Homo-oligomer: A and B are copies of this chain.
Amino acid sequence: MSRFSLPQDAAFQALNTSLGFDQRLWPHDVAQSRAHVRMLAAQGIISDADRDEILGGLDTAAAELEAGSFPFRADDEDIHMAVERRVSELTGPAGGKLHTARSRNDQVITDLAMFTRAAAQGAIADLEQLRLVLLEVAERHLDWPVPGYTHLQRAQPVYLSHHLLAYFWMATRDIGRFEAVLRATSELPLGAGALAGVNFDTDRRMVAAELGFDGVVRNSVDAVSNRDFALDLLHALSVCATHLSRLGQEIVLWTSSEFGFMTLSDAWSSGSSIMPQKKNPDAAELLRGKAPRVWGHQAALHGVIHGLPLTYNKDLQEDKEHLFDAADTVALCIAAAGGMLETATFHRATMAAAASDQMIAAVDLADLLVKRGTPFREAHGVVAGLVREAVDSGRSLADVAIPALGDDAAAILEQSSWLESKVSEGGTALVRVREQLQQARALVG
């Protein structure tokens, strides 16, 4: 019996139903129901016989969901109601006891916390894999010079290994952010009931232990109102996606005819419907193009929660699609980043030629003057003048600088010196890059 005298309008159901997307929560939903029902029996709230019947019903429902044979009904509003309904069909009166001392409010947020943890764990595993690829590709190209850019202008040469390791450290910070998500989901919401706690002497810590939580949320109102961990996951995903968008951009640039630093494997390239010669870096472009949907979801979830009074409001149902799509998107993108990098070919000669543009040694010339005693700001001005003279007269920087600055300038205008002179900690000199590789290896050990 319901308190309502009219069935729901079809347009209402179309708006309201979440079964289409929350189905994927079923493994978490079944797991929490198992733990819940064991606790209810342990506390004497239901009998052991009822517990066993319900567990049997849950096993059957889980098997059906796994097999794709679960008999969904048109009026199943969400996965939680569908599973409970099915267990009741399978077990009779016992199934009606499954929802004792529980509300959909604490049940939903518990499923979501479990999903969030699993998604964070998945992202960590994916990023660890990506770090291995980055390390391996960096080691393979340890001493290959490539221009470093600022403002997309050639600035100073670095080794390709050094450049690639920048992404290693980004991925490392990303992992740290996902680990924070694990901490943000370490307390079990279940047991908060609708919002005020429940009328039974439950043992929330028993449920927490079975489900792998470290403790329980300490305030029932907070438990069902809180979506912080969803925002934390979206933050971790957004920053990761933004990192990958930078990598995607660099692959797009480097595989262009103009740069010519890199060729993607045919396995990671697309053709054109009309231009037979085209070899397009579609996956790299999608690394760029997918990032905004991830932080678009993040902004949208802030919008959803914004101004909501406590405790549960239906608006919060919107958390799931934002979270699911963001997690799926980033998983695809991390895999693509690794796949492209490990199969790509870099072109040593082209990169080296670009990295040997004399102009990018200008700061080294200035530092030569500094070492001779000229204040840096003055030395900068002297070399800027030489650069202008070279540009205006169409001569090389060497032609202008060596007469002006002496033979030491000639030594400096040889490429390898520019790289190897960057000896400061964290710099691109090989000895420093090797240090970094060791630190990185230690982390992935």
Q: Are A195 and B245 in contact (CB under 8 A)?
A: no
Cβ-defined contact, A378 with B96, below 8 A:
yes
* Contact digits for A283-312, partner B, Cβ 8 Å, 1 yes 0 no: 101101111110111111111111111111
Chain B neighbourhood of A102, CB < 8 A: 274
Partner of A267, one of B7, B96, B166, B427: B7
- Is A416 on the interface with B (CB-CB < 8 A)? no
A246 interface hit (Cβ, 8 Å): yes
B residues near A250, Cβ cutoff 8 Å: 309-310
For residue A191, CB closer than 8 A to chain B, the reply is yes
Query: How far does the alpha carbon of A187 sit from the alpha carbon of B257 in the complex, in Å?
Result: 33
| Cα separation A283 to B13 with both chains bound (whole Å) | 9
Q: How large is the interface on A (under 10, 10 to 19, 20 to 34, 35 or more residues)?
A: 35 or more
- Report yes or no: B1 in contact with A381, Cβ–Cβ below 8 A: yes
Of the candidates B99, B228, B275, B397, which one forms a contact with A155 in the assembled complex, judged by CB atoms under 8 Å apart?
B275
Q: Contact between A308 and B339 (Cβ–Cβ < 8 Å)?
A: no
Of A98, A313, A362, A383, most buried by chain B (CB within 10 Å of CB) is: A313
Q: CB-nearest residue of chain B relative to A204? A: B425
Q: Which of B169, B192, B335, B364 contacts A222 (CB 8 A)?
A: B169
Cross-chain contact of A296 among B8, B152, B303, B386 (Cβ < 8 A): B303
B residues near A285, Cβ cutoff 8 Å: 151, 313-315
Complex Cα gap A310–B148 (Å): 8
**How far apart sit A321 and B423, CA to CA, in the bound complex (Å)?**
34
Q: A219-B166, A306-B292 are in contact. Are A197 and B422 (CB under 8 A)?
A: yes
User: CB of A157 within 8 A of chain B?
Assistant: yes
| Nearest-Cβ distance from residue A26 to partner chain B, whole angstroms | 17
8 A Cβ contacts from A167-208 to B: 168-170, 173, 177, 180, 184, 191-202, 204-205
Contact B5 A388 (CB under 8 A): yes
Contact A194 B151 (CB under 8 A): no
List of B residues within 8 angstroms of A345 by Cβ: none
In the bound complex, residues from chain B placing their C-beta under 8 Å from that of A429 are: 197
Question: Cβ of A163: which chain B residues have Cβ within 8 Å of it?
Answer: 221, 310
The reply on A344 being an interface residue by CB < 8 A is: no
Chain B, Cβ-Cβ closest to A419: B196
The distance from the CB of A89 to the nearest CB of chain B, in whole angstroms, is 12
| Contact A378 B93, beta carbon cutoff 8 Å | yes
Q: CB of A239 within 8 A of chain B?
A: yes
Could you tell me if B96 and A149 are in contact, using CB atoms closer than 8 angstroms?
A: no
Which single residue of chain B is at the shortest CB-CB distance from A380?
B276
Fill in one digit per residue for A267-280: 1 if any B CB lies within 8 Å of its CB, else 0.
Answer: 11111111111111
Return the CB mask of A52-72 against B: 1 if under 8 Å, else 0: 000000000000000000000
CB-based contact B218/A151 at 8 Å:
no
A121 beta carbon closer than 8 Å to chain B: no
- Against B, the Cβ 8 Å flags (1 = close, 0 = not) of A403-433 are 0000000000000000101111111110010
Pick the residue among B15, B105, B301, B424 that contacts A201 (CB under 8 A): B424
Chain B residue nearest in CB terms to A197: B427
Interface flags, A332-362, vs B, CB<8A=1, else 0: 1101100100010000000000100101101
How far is the CB of A54 from the nearest CB of chain B, in Å? 10
Contact in complex: A272, B173 (CB < 8 Å): no
Q: Could you show 17 A-B contacts with beta carbons less than 8 Å apart? A: A2-B381, A3-B277, A4-B271, A5-B388, A102-B274, A150-B272, A153-B281, A154-B257, A194-B272, A194-B363, A197-B425, A199-B423, A242-B305, A246-B310, A248-B307, A256-B258, A281-B314
- The 6 A-B pairs with the shortest beta carbon distances in the complex, nearest first, are A197-B427, A96-B375, A292-B303, A289-B315, A296-B300, A197-B422
Apart from A150-B311, A220-B422, A278-B362: 18 A-B pairs, beta carbons within 8 A: A8-B268, A81-B273, A150-B195, A151-B280, A197-B425, A197-B426, A197-B428, A198-B424, A201-B423, A218-B436, A231-B242, A249-B307, A275-B360, A276-B384, A277-B387, A295-B300, A296-B303, A296-B322
